[in-house]
């Protein structure tokens, strides 16, 4: 599936706590979006959707749908903070092309 770096795990925990969802889960999905065609849809919620794939990493519950899992296989998700801003960064081996800002990709 995909892996979160330590920085990403820590930030997901922060978001879960801020949203009052400490026992909730981090959902990562792929959907049509952006200038390259596909984008990442991230959300936090109390439960997964029917049919979702669920796993745990370092105490963080993560889920995705079966269709997205094919696009996310082998992806490493990091959380970076720079002077220009902060956010999740995806190193996706399935991506053949990514847009300049890194928010969308094509396969």
Pairing of strands 37-45, 76-82: unpaired
- Return the H-helix or E-strand segment holding 71: helix 66-72
Q: For residue 8, what are the domain limits?
A: 3-106
Tally of domains in the chain:
1
Q: What's the whole-number average pLDDT of the chain?
A: 89
- Return the pLDDT at 95: 81
Q: What is the mean pLDDT of residues 78-91?
A: 92
CATH of residue 14's domain is 2.60.300.12
% of the chain at pLDDT higher than 70: 87
pTM for the full predicted model = 0.86
Quick: pLDDT tens for 44-66.
999 999 999 999 999 999 999 99
Q: What is the mean pLDDT of residues 23-47?
A: 87
Task: Please check the confidence at residue 4 and state whether its pLDDT lies above 70.
Answer: yes
Pairing of strands 85-91, 76-82: antiparallel
């Amino acid at each position: 599936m995909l892996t979160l770096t330590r920085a990403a795990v820590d930030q997901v925990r922060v978001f879960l706590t801020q949203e009052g969802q400490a026992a909730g889960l981090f959902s990562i999905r792929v959907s049509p979006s952006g200038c390259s065609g596909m984008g990442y849809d991230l959300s936090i919620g109390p439960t997964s959707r029917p049919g979702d794939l669920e796993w745990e990493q370092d105490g963080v519950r993560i889920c995705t749908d079966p269709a997205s899992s094919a696009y996310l296989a082998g992806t490493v998700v990091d959380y970076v903070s720079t002077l220009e801003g902060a956010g999740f960064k995806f190193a996706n081996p399935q991506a053949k092309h990514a847009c300049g800002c890194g928010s969308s990709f094509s396969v």
